[in-house]
C-alpha cells in the first residue's frame, strides 16, 4: 500500500533517496537542484538516514568523491544541474567508463551563457554520449518512481552503468504535486543490498581502478560499455514491469498516449509531454486523430521500438528542448530520424522550443499538429518554436 504526499519534484527525488538510504551522497549546491540536496541534508541531520553526506568544494569534487566512494564499494547517489554538470564533465565520463553504478538526479537547467537558471535540456543532452543511461521524468510522481528504479537498473550485474534521472528545472523541481510513495520497507526490499563487483575496501582482493589504458585495451573497454548499454534496455523493461507489480505504475522505454489510431504524433521529453497530452485531449474532443509519445529513456535510445510505435502515423514532429547547433535539428530529432532511416517512409519534422525556460503552451502544440496536417515539415533545419522574430 502506498502513502500519498504533496511534494515538489525535488522533494520527491529526496524522498526516494531517503527511503533508499544510500551509503554516500556528495553534494554541492546549484539552482534548481539546491532544494533537493537541502531536503536530503535535513534527513541526514534528523538521523532519518545513515548516509555519509560529503560537502565538497565544487561539482568536480562531488563527482570525484562519488567515484571514490563507489569504487570503494558504497552505494552512491548525487544530484546537480546545468553548470554544475558541466564542471563535473571529466568525471562524468570516468564514472561511466569505470563502470560505477552511481545514480544522479539532474535537474534540467539551461547551460550558460548567457546565464539562465530555468529549464531546458542543454545540460543533460550535452553529455548524452558520456555513457550514462538517461531517464527523463514528466511529473513529480515519475521523479520519485524513476529514482527508485534507476538504482536497480544501474546496479544490475549485466549493466553496471551510471544513470541520470532528470526532471525539468522549476517546472517540475519546484511544483508541488501529489506523489504516491511506496513504504520504506518496500523500497528497501526493491532496491536490495548493493554488492560491488570489485570493492577497493576488500583488502583481501586488491584491485586497481582507473589505470592507464592505451591502444591495446581501451577499445575493448569501450565495446564492453556499448554492449552493457544495449543490455540496459532489457533491464529497464524488466525493472519497469517489476516496479509496476509493486506500485501499480509500470514503466517502459516510452509512453504512448492516444497513438493507436493517430495520424500525427508528437515526440517529446519531460514535462512538455504532459502539456502535449492536454493538447491532444482538446484536439481529440474535436475529432482530430493525434497522439503523443513521451520518450522516457533517451540512453539507450529505443530505436526499433519507436519505429514500431510510429509505423501507422502519417507524419511525426519531434520537440527538442535543446538546440544542438548542428544546423539540421536538435539531438532528439536526429535520433528519431536516424531510427526511421530505411525503416519507415514518413515526414519527420524538427522543432526547437522552450530554451532557457521559455513557456510552451497547448496552443503552440496544437499549431505543431496543424503544421503536420498541412504538410509544413521542417526536416532540413529545426523550426524555433516560440522565438520572437
Partner 1 sequence: MGEKAPGWKEIPIGGVIVHPGNSFEYNTGDWRSERPVLDKEKCINCLQCWIFCPDGAVLVEDEKMAGYDYEHCKGCGICAHVCPVNAIEMIPEDDISGVSIDEFGIKEPPPEI
In the complex, what is the shortest distance from the CB of residue 220 to partner 1, in angstroms, rounded to a whole number? 4
For residues 64 and 94, give the distance between their C-alpha atoms in angstroms, rounded to a whole number: 9
Burial class (CB in 10 A: 0-12, 13-18, 19+), 186: middle
- Residues β-bridged to residue 6: 178
Provide the H-helix boundaries in 211-322: 218-247, 271-285, 303-310
Segment near partner 1 (CB under 8 A); pick from 26-34, 210-218, 265-273, 312-320: 210-218
Sole binder of partner 1 in the list 58, 112, 224, 311 (CB under 8 A): 224
Query: Which among 163-171, 204-212, 301-309, 366-374 is the span making contact with partner 1, rule CB under 8 A?
Result: 204-212
Query: What does the alpha-carbon distance between residue 356 and residue 280 come to, in Å, rounded to a whole number?
Result: 25
Q: Judged by CB under 8 A, which of 2, 198, 347, 384 binds partner 1? A: 198
Rank residues 217 and 341 by Cβ distance to partner 1 and give the closer one: 217
Cα(236)–Cα(154) distance, integer angstroms: 9
Binding to partner 1 by CB under 8 A, coded x per residue (else -) over 82-121, reads ---------------xxxx---------------------
> Is 227 a binder of partner 1 (CB under 8 A)?
yes
Q: How many CA atoms lie within 13 A of 115 on its CB side?
A: 4
Closer CB to partner 1, 163 or 293, in the complex: 163
CA-closest candidate to residue 118, choices 170, 176, 174, 175? 170
CA 109 to chain centre: 13
Of 42 and 224, CB closest to partner 1: 224
The one among 202, 213, 260, 379 contacting partner 1 by CB under 8 A:
213
- Told to check if 204 binds partner 1 by CB under 8 A, we report no
Q: Which three cell numbers stand for residue 378?
A: 521542417
Contacts (Cβ under 8 Å, ≥6 apart) of 221? 97, 213
The Cα–Cα gap between 119 and 235 comes to: 29
Cα separation, 378 vs 382, whole angstroms: 6
Work out whether 6 is an interface residue with partner 1 (CB under 8 A). no
Count of residues for the chain? Answer: 389
Q: Least CB distance from residue 299 to partner 1, whole Å?
A: 18
- The residue (of 229 and 336) whose beta carbon lies closer to partner 1 is 229
Nearer to partner 1 among residue 4 and residue 214 (C-beta): 214
Stretch that binds partner 1, among 25-33, 111-119, 198-206, 374-382 (CB under 8 A): 198-206
| 203 is an interface residue for partner 1 by CB under 8 A | no
Q: How far is the CB of 232 from partner 1 (least distance, A)?
A: 14
Interaction pattern, residues 133-162, with partner 1; x per rule: CB under 8 A: ---------------------------x--
Determine the size of the site formed for partner 1 (CB under 8 A). Answer: 24
Rounded to a whole number of angstroms, the distance between the first and last alpha carbons of the chain is: 52
The nearer residue to partner 1, 194 or 251, going by C-beta atoms, is 194
- Which phi and psi angles does 218 have, rounded to 5°? -55, -45
User: Looking at beta carbons only, is 98 or 259 nearer to partner 1?
Assistant: 98
Half-sphere exposure of 74 (CA within 13 A, CB side): 20
Using CB under 8 A, list all residues that contact partner 1: 97-100, 160, 197-198, 205-211, 213, 216-218, 220-221, 223-224, 227-228
Amino acid at each position: 500500500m502506498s502513502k500519498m504526499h504533496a511534494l515538489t519534484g525535488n522533494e520527491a527525488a529526496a524522498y526516494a533517496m531517503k527511503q533508499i538510504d544510500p551509503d554516500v551522497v556528495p553534494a554541492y549546491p546549484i539552482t534548481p537542484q539546491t532544494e533537493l540536496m537541502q531536503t536530503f541534508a535535513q534527513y541526514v541531520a534528523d538521523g532519518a538516514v545513515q548516509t555519509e553526506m560529503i560537502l565538497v568544494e565544487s561539482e568536480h569534487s562531488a563527482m570525484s568523491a562519488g567515484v571514490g566512494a563507489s569504487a570503494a564499494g558504497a552505494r552512491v547517489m548525487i544530484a546537480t544541474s546545468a553548470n554544475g554538470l558541466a564542471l563535473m564533465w571529466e568525471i562524468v565520463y570516468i564514472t561511466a567508463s569505470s563502470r560505477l553504478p552511481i545514480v544522479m538526479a539532474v535537474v534540467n537547467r539551461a547551460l550558460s551563457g548567457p546565464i539562465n537558471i530555468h529549464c531546458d535540456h542543454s545540460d543533460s543532452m550535452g553529455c548524452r554520449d558520456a555513457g550514462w543511461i538517461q531517464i527523463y521524468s514528466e511529473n513529480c510522481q515519475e521523479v520519485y518512481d524513476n529514482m527508485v528504479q534507476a538504482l536497480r537498473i544501474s546496479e544490475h550485474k549485466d549493466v553496471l552503468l551510471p544513470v541520470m534521472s532528470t526532471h525539468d528545472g522549476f517546472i517540475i523541481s519546484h511544483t508541488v504535486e501529489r506523489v504516491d510513495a511506496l513504504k520504506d520497507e518496500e523500497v528497501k526490499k526493491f532496491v536490495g543490498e548493493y554488492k560491488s563487483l570489485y570493492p577497493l575496501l576488500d583488502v583481501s582482493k586488491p584491485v586497481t581502478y582507473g589505470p592507464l589504458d592505451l591502444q591495446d585495451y581501451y577499445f575493448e573497454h569501450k565495446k564492453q560499455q556499448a554492449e552493457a548499454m544495449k543490455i540496459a534496455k532489457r533491464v529497464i523493461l524488466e525493472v519497469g514491469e517489476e516496479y509496476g507489480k509493486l506500485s501499480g505504475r509500470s514503466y517502459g522505454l516510452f509512453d504512448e498516449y492516444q497513438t493507436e489510431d493517430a495520424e500525427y504524433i508528437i515526440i517529446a521529453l519531460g514535462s512538455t509531454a504532459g502539456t502535449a497530452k492536454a493538447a491532444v485531449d482538446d484536439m481529440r474532443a474535436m475529432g482530430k486523430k493525434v497522439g503523443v509519445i513521451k520518450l522516457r529513456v533517451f540512453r539507450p535510445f529505443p530505436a526499433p521500438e519507436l519505429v514500431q510505435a510510429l509505423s501507422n502515423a502519417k507524419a511525426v514532429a519531434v520537440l527538442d528542448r535543446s538546440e544542438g547547433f548542428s544546423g539540421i535539428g536538435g539531438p532528439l530529432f536526429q535520433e528519431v530520424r536516424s531510427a526511421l532511416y530505411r525503416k519507415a517512409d514518413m515526414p519527420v519534422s524538427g522543432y526547437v522550443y522552450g530554451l532557457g525556460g521559455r513557456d510552451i503552451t497547448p496552443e503552440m502544440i496544437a499549431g505543431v499538429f496543424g503544421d503536420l496536417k498541412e504538410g509544413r515539415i521542417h526536416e532540413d533545419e529545426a523550426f524555433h518554436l516560440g522565438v520572437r522574430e
